[in-house]
Structure 1
Amino acid sequence: DDAEIILNPSGKFVQGGPDADTGLTGRKLMVDSYGTFAPHGGGAFSGKDATKVDRSGAYMARYIAKNMVAAHLANRCQVTLAYAIGEKDPVMVDVNTFGTGICEDDCLSAAVRKAYDLTPAGIIKQLNLLNPMYSRTAAGGHFGREDFPWENVEHMSDLAAYIV
């Protein structure tokens, strides 16, 4: 009864596939991210600006997961954010702690929604994504290097305060 069905909220969809969604480099996310270890939507990071949730959403999911583990809310964590074109808030926030969380995963997902502004503008502000840094991702990748803001471990109490 509480299901919401969203059909093409941004209007007419005329171009899809690799031509429309590979970014500047022509690489899809499989190349730019963890390979097959972490599931993702497909799109691309490289060549897309921070307003595109293909890129900024992945960075924010990484940031939240790292902070959740650093705050000892879980020993292992995967955060998944899903967006619909034309909708500013994510249509799904999923936390999977693989059974290592201090509460059920649904509890942590609800805390994430409350603790963080997950709109593109909120993510850009939180991670300072307007700062020119993206050329460094071309060599060495997007993840696992402490010089990127989405790799920072901070604001851990912000998330913990929302766990009920």
Structure 2
Amino acid sequence: GDQGVMVGYACNETPEYLPMPVVAAQRLVTLLEISRMTGVIPDIGPDGKVQVTMEYNGDTPVRITTVVVSVQHKEDTDINKLADLLDEYVFPLAFDGMPADDAEIILNPSGKFVQGGPDADTGLTGRKLMVDSYGTFAPHGGGAFSGKDATKVDRSGAYMARYIAKNMVAAHLADRCQVTLAYAIGGKDPVMVDVNTFGTGICEDDCLAAAVRKVYDLTPAGIIKQLNLLNPIYSRTAAGGHFGREDFPWENVEHMSDLAAYIV
């Protein structure tokens, strides 16, 4: 592969093992796309993005405070009617089970959003790294996932780090877990395996990192085999985020007993 640093993250805030505002944002964009494709909300276009701000009390999510929704639409779209349709069909599902009753909803804050895509905004930087991963909740190694095959650890290593972190939390070995892998070009084994449970782990982070090295084959070939990364699955990662979606193999929960067995 390559040299670089990859970070994976998981927490027990949601069934997806992701921070609640990240899940809310992913649900919103997914529901917007479904509404567009099915015609439930007519006249909206394929371009758009959302931003969810949430208040925390320590590590506990308290309430969604602000939601910014920017969505492309036709020239003659009635924005007030669009807002009503979002209130009826999108927001209730997106925020189901979340404290969002008092959230401020800001729709298309710049006014009209008629022209979209690269036709409207040249000089784009490609996929947004934090949107594809964990928002502001975890650091990022800096390498984009998209546009690379699985031999590049920017992609496969990031997926493996998420896989390990999620299994740690699912096994109740920690409430929050960040796994960091680092590689040197020309070497198959990682030069660093770091686990950070932010004080929520059942043992010291060093012992968890040692267990990870024993349980998982962290070579690029081992990761590709473990996560079945030679299959043509990547087009689905182009929108909606790379994590928290059960149809991706790095979201599988398994090997939890193996992890527990190696903890000393």
TM-score (norm 2): 0.51
Higher relative contact order (CA 8 A, sep 6+): 2
Counterparts in 2 of 1:105 and 1:89: CA distance versus 1, 3 Å: same
Please tell me whether Structure 1 or Structure 2 has the larger radius of gyration of its CA atoms.
2
Q: In percent, how many aligned pairs have the same letter?
A: 97
- Deviation per residue, 1:8-29 (Å, 9 max, x gap): 9999999999999999983363
The SS at the match of 1:81 is strand
Matched, 1:100 2:100: no
Cα separation, partners in 2 of 1:108 and 1:19, compared to 1, 3 Å: farther
| Aligned residue pair count | 164
CA distance in 2, matches of 1:2, 1:85: 50
Preserved contact between residue 195 and residue 208 of structure 2 (Cα < 8 Å): yes
- Report if the CA contact (8 A) 1:27-1:46 is conserved: yes
State the distance in 1 between where 2:111 and 2:216 align: 28
Q: Deviations over 1:115-134 (max 9, x none)?
A: 10000000001111111100
Deviation per residue, 1:16-69 (Å, 9 max, x gap): 999999999833633432233211221211110001110111100111111011
Per-residue deviation at 1:159? 1.1
- Cα drift, residue 7 of structure 1: 50
Seen in structure 2, the aligned counterparts of structure 1 residues 49 and 64 have a Cα distance that, compared at 3 Å, is same
Distance 1:117 1:5 in 2: 45
When the two chains are superposed, the root-mean-square deviation of aligned CA atoms in Å is 12.7
Q: CA deviation at 1:155?
A: 1.3
Structure 2 residue aligned with 1:132: 232
Is the 2:170–2:253 Cα contact (8 Å) retained in structure 1? yes
Preserved contact between residue 132 and residue 240 of structure 2 (Cα < 8 Å): no
Alpha-carbon distance change, 12 to 105 in structure 1, aligned in 2, over 3 angstroms: farther
Any conservation in 2 of the 1:62–1:79 contact (CA below 8 Å)? yes
Q: Is the alpha carbon distance of 1:103 and 1:144 closer, same or farther for their aligned partners in structure 2, counting shifts above 3 Å?
A: same
| Higher share in strand | 2
TM superposition shift of 1:107: 0.4
Q: Which moved more, 1:88-97 or 1:28-37?
A: 28-37
Query: Which of 133, 140, 158 lines up with 1:33 in the alignment?
Result: 133
Unaligned regions of 5+ residues in structure 1, if any? none
